[in-house]
Amino acid sequence: MTKAKFIKLLIASILAIVALYIPYESLGINGANALNPIEIRVIAIFIMAALFWILQPFPIWSTSVLVIVLMILTVSDSSLAMFKVEGVKAVSHKDIMGTFANPIIMLFLGGFFLAAAATKYRLDLNLARVLLKPFGKNPKMVLLGLMMITAVFSMFMSNTATAAMMLAILAPVLKLFDADDRGKAAFALAIPLGANIGGMGTPIGTPPNAIALGALNEAGFQVSFGQWMMFGIPYVIILMAIAWVLLLKIYPIKMKEMILNIEGAGKFDTSPRAITVYVTFALCVVLWVTGKNVHGINDNAIAMIPMAVFALTGIITKKDLNEMSWDVLWLVAGGFALGVGLQKTGLAAHLIGAIPFDQWSPMVLMVGCGVICLLMANFMSHTSTASLLVPILAAVGVACADTLAPIGGVTALLVAVAFASSLGMSLPISTPPNALAHATGYTDTNGMAKTGIVMGILGLAIAYVMMFFLAKINFFGEQVKKPETVVEKAAVVETVKEVPAEPAKDTVVPVSEAVLADTAKVMDSSVIPAAN
C-alpha cells in the first residue's frame, strides 16, 4: 500500500470510529427516535464505506465485501459475542449474506452472459455494421449512428465494455481526420456519451438502475422491465439528440465524407451455437419488453434463461465465466447490504423520524436529492453513489410518499436518483467510459466538462419533467406498499402515542409507533404491530 492510500485509510477509519461516539441525542435524534448500539454501528459502517468508495484506499468492490463481513460480525444475529446487545433484535445474518444472491444480482449476471455470448460470436460487431449502414457517409450522421449503436449495446451490456468495444471499432476511423479537425474529438467523446446515456434505458443497462429498481420492488412499488423501457428509451432518445447537437456545436466537423470500416465484422455466423445466441438474445429482449403481465415470468427469472442455455450448450465456458465482471456484482451486493442494515435495524426509520422531511416542499426534496447525487457521481463511482444514496432516499420517499405523490412519488424520486448517478460524466474520472475516451488522446478535459455539465443539468431537469408527466397520467398505477416490507423496529424503548378513544375502523398505526411485544399487549386491539 502506498503512503497516500495509507493516509486515506487512516482518515476514513478514524472518522468511522468517531461516528461511534457522537452524542446523537444532542443532534435531535432522541426520544422515540433514539438510536441503539446496533444502529450506531451501522452508521459507522456506512461512513467507512462512503469514504472508502470516495477515497479508494482499496478497490471499490473489496469495500463492499468488507461492508458485508463487518455487518455480519457486528450487527447480525451471528455477530461476535462482544457485539451482542441484550434486548435489541439483531439483523438476520441470512439477510445480509443473501445480498450476494439478490434477484437483481441474478438479473445483472444474466446480462453478463448475454454480453459475453454476443461478443464471442461477433453479434455486436455485425449488428454495428448492419445498423450503421443506413447512416451513409455524412460524418454528422455517422456520428449520430455511432452514438445510437453505442446506446443500444449499453442497454444490455456493461457501459465500460460497450465503450471499450466501440472505441476499438472507431480507432482506425479516428485516424482519417486531419490534424486540425476537431471532429475527431466529437467522435471520441460520442462513445462515452452514448454508453452513459444508453445505460439508463433498461434496468440492466447500468448498476444504479438495478439498485433503484431493487429498492422500489423492496418497498412495494413494482416497476417492470418493460415499464422501465417505456419511459427509459424515450428519455435516452431525447438526451442523445441533445448530446449530438452539443457535440457538433463544441467540435465542428470539417470532413465532408466518411467511410466507416468495422474491422472484424463480416457475415453473421450461422453455426448452431451462434444461432442459439441470436435466438436466446431475441427471446430475452421480447420477454423483458412484453412484461410479466403477458407471459407470467419475472424479469429476474428471465435473466436466468441465457445462463442455463449458454452453460449447457457450451457457448459460455468456464474461462468465459471467470472473465465476467464479478467485482461489479460484489460492489452492488455491498450496496444492498447497507440497505438491509438501514432498514432492518430501524435506523432509516429513526433518522427519518428525527428529520421533518414531510414538512419540506416536495420539489425541494426531489430536486435537492437529484443535485446531490449528480455532484457525487462526478467524483466517485456511479454505482457507489447509488449504493450510498438509494437506501436512504428509499426510506425518505416511503415516509414522505403522500407529499411526493403529486410529482411522481417514491418511483420518481428513486428513478431520478438513478438517472442522476449516470449523468455524472463531466470529468475523465467520473466514469470508466470517460476515462477510456480520454485515453485515446483525442478528447480534451475542457470539452468533456462542458458537455458533461450541460448534459447533467438538462438530463436531470428532463427526468423530473418526465416523472411529473408520468404521474399525471397514472403511468405506474396505484402503487401499494407490500405489507411484509414494513421497516422493523429495533429500539428497546419507544414512546407510545395516545390512541384515540374511538379509532376509525381498520386504523393502522405507522411502523414508527410500534413498540415491544409486551407493551403492545395493552394497546387497543385496533393497533396492528410491525411485521417481523
Residue 151 or residue 478, greater confidence = 151
CB count within 10 Å of CB 17 equals 12
pLDDT at 260 over 80: no
The pLDDT tens digits for 63-111 are 889 999 999 999 999 999 999 988 888 989 999 999 888 887 887 788 7
Instruction: Give tens-digit pLDDT for 390-424.
Output: 888 888 888 777 778 777 788 888 999 999 999 99
pLDDT band per the 50, 70, 90 thresholds, residue 357 = low
Lowest mean pLDDT among 174-183, 192-201, 247-256, 360-369: 174-183
Res. 482: pLDDT tops 60: no
Q: Three-class SS of residue 76?
A: strand
Does the predicted TM-score (pTM) go above 0.75? no
Q: What is the mean pLDDT of residues 175-185?
A: 80
- Note the pLDDT of residue 296: 83
Percent of the chain with pLDDT over 70: 83
Q: Phi and psi at residue 528, in whole multiples of 5°?
A: -100, 125
Residue where the block lists cell 420492488:
217
Write down the domain spans for the chain.
1-92+329-354, 103-325, 498-532
Question: What is the rounded distance in angstroms from the CA atom of residue 432 to the CA atom of residue 411?
Answer: 28
3-state secondary structure 264-285: CCCCCCCCHHHHHHHHHHHHHH
pLDDT tier at 478 (50, 70, 90 boundaries)? low
Q: Report the C-alpha gap between 327 and 64 in whole angstroms.
A: 9
pLDDT of residue 244: 95
| DSSP for 342-377, written as a single string | HHHTSHHHHHHHHS-GGGS-HHHHHHHHHHHHHHHH
**Which of 61, 71, 57 has its CA nearest to residue 15?**
57
pLDDT of residue 128: 66
pLDDT reading at 385 higher than 70: yes
What integer pLDDT is reported at residue 224 of this predicted model? 83
pLDDT of residue 514: 39
Read off the pLDDT band of 301 (50, 70, 90): confident
User: Mean pLDDT, the chain, as a whole number?
Assistant: 80
pLDDT in tens, 27-40: 878 777 788 899 99
**Could you tell me the pLDDT band of residue 470, with boundaries at 50, 70 and 90?**
confident
pLDDT at 54 over 70: yes
- Asked if pLDDT for residue 261 goes beyond 70, the answer is no
Choose from 11-25, 145-159, 207-221, 395-409 the range with maximum mean pLDDT: 11-25
Helices 207-219 and 382-399, packing angle to 10 deg? 20
pLDDT at 120: 86
Residue 467 has a pLDDT of 86
